[in-house]
């Protein structure tokens, strides 16, 4: 495997990255994470790289590993420390020096950002990981991680009643953290309650672009609003609404948990995540979308 095998991840890598995050949590701490939450989190990073950046180590047939880093501003140093937030190697890729290859890529990016130090945290009982990090040059620091759990706030998108969610979306006060897949589905349902499909699409497009701008996301051919996905989700929500009514959007998503991979029943991943599909609607290449009356 050559050094060029470590590459910046793209949105097409999200399913593989989610699988690796879930696997790492199980191995490192025996923790079973919620796939939908992890998918939303990884996807959010591609919409806003200030949250985190991911790199993938390609194997012969599929990603063999991945690493993610986040930045922590230091007013002592007037620079950002870089933290390895996540790193994972598939079992068959271990013992071949590939961990250092992933870390070296992050080190190079951190140096280019003038980071004073690359840091990570590791569970104290994860002896295998501690040994591996020692071997590639990491050393303990005299700090202890302390935390205080916070109760979920009442302002989250999923906690808002329909009228409040509608108002927050259009006032652009809905936070980035709460602009989740579930919130997208709820807003599609709310638009379709008010408008026919084509008008709902136009209004959703305008609303999403404005909300992205409020979140500081600069639209580009590779980031931000996705025209084909917006249309597909509206069609899928409209079809589900036609088959069964719901009292409100929360009841709808509870009864119709349309998972993030639902569009892949109709599209190949390459077509759906192409630049063309982001900028304009492209027809499916696997199966036709539901026909609406």
- Verify that 122 and 181 share a domain, yes or no: no
- Is residue 128 domain-shared with residue 165, that is, in the same domain? no
> What is the average pLDDT value for the chain, to the nearest integer?
90
pLDDT of 293 = 66
Do 108 and 225 sit in the same domain of this protein?
no
Quick one: 129 and 162 in the same domain?
Answer: no
- Tell me the pLDDT band of 283, cut-offs 50, 70 and 90: very high
Among 104, 135, 166, the domain-final residue is 135
34 and 87 housed in the same domain: yes
Same domain, 126 and 167: no
Burial of 84 (0-12, 13-18, 19+ CB in 10 A): buried
Q: Within this chain, do residues 115 and 234 fall inside the same structural domain, yes or no?
A: no
Which segment of 92-101, 144-153, 187-196 scores lowest on mean pLDDT?
144-153
Share of the chain above pLDDT 70, in %: 95
Q: Give domain status of residue 286, yes or no.
A: no
* Total number of domains in the chain: 2
When mean pLDDT is compared across 88-92, 114-118, 155-159, 210-214, the lowest value belongs to: 155-159
pLDDT at position 116 over 90? yes
When pLDDT is cut at 50, 70 and 90, the band that residue 267 belongs to is very high
Burial 104-121 (b: 16+ CB within 10 A, else e): ebbbebbeeeebeebbbe
The answer to whether residue 52 scores a pLDDT higher than 70 is yes
Tens of pLDDT, residue by residue over 119-128, are: 999 888 888 8
Task: Look at residue 256 and tell me if it is in a domain.
Answer: yes
| Residue where one domain finishes, among candidates 70, 105, 135 | 135
Co-location of 32 and 74 in the same domain: yes
10 and 127 housed in the same domain: yes
Taking only the tens place, the pLDDT of each residue in 61-72 is 889 999 999 999
The whole-number pLDDT of residue 33 equals 86
Per the structure, the complete domain to which residue 35 belongs is given by: 3-135
Pick from 1-10, 24-33, 42-51, 135-144 the range whose average pLDDT is largest. 135-144
Same domain for 114 and 220, yes or no, is no
pLDDT for 87 equals 95
- Specify the pTM: 0.55
Mean pLDDT to the nearest integer, 268-272:
94
Q: What is the pLDDT of residue 244?
A: 87
Per-residue pLDDT tens digits for 244-260:
889 999 999 999 888 88
- 33 shares its domain with 103: yes
Q: What is the CATH number of the domain that holds 14?
A: 3.40.630.30
The token pair that represents 175 in the structure block: 């936070």
**Of 154 and 293, more confident:** 293
Task: Tell whether 99 is covered by a domain.
Answer: yes
Residues 183 and 274 in one domain: yes
Instruction: Count other C-beta atoms under 10 Å from residue 237's C-beta.
Output: 26
């Amino acid at each position: 495997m050559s050094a060029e095998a470590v590459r910046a991840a793209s949105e097409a890598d999200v399913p593989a990255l989610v699988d690796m995050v879930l696997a790492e949590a199980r191995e490192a701490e025996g923790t079973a994470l919620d796939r939908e939450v992890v998918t939303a989190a990884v996807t959010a990073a591609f919409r806003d790289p200030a949250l985190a950046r991911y790199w993938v180590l390609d194997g012969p047939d599929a990603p063999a590993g991945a690493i993610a880093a986040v930045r922590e501003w230091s007013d002592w140093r007037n620079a950002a420390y870089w933290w390895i937030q996540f790193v994972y190697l598939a079992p068959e890729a271990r013992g071949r020096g590939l961990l250092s290859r992933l870390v070296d890529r992050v080190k190079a990016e951190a140096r280019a950002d003038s980071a004073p130090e690359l840091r990570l945290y590791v569970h104290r009982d994860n002896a295998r990981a501690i040994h591996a990090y020692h071997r590639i040059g990491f050393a303990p620091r005299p700090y202890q991680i302390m935390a205080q759990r916070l109760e979920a706030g009442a302002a989250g998108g999923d906690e808002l009643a329909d009228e409040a969610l509608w108002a927050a979306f259009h006032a652009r006060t809905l936070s980035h953290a709460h602009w989740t897949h579930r919130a997208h589905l709820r807003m599609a349902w709310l638009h379709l309650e008010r408008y026919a499909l084509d008008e709902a699409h136009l209004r959703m497009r305008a609303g999403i672009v404005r909300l992205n701008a409020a979140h500081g996301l600069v639209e580009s051919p590779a980031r931000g609003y996705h025209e084909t996905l917006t249309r597909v989700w509206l069609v899928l929500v409209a079809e589900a609404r036609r088959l069964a009514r719901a009292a409100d959007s929360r009841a709808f998503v509870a009864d119709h948990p349309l998972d993030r991979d639902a569009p892949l029943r109709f599209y190949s991943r390459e077509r759906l995540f192409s630049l063309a599909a982001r900028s304009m609607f492209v027809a499916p290449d696997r199966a036709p979308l539901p026909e609406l009356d």
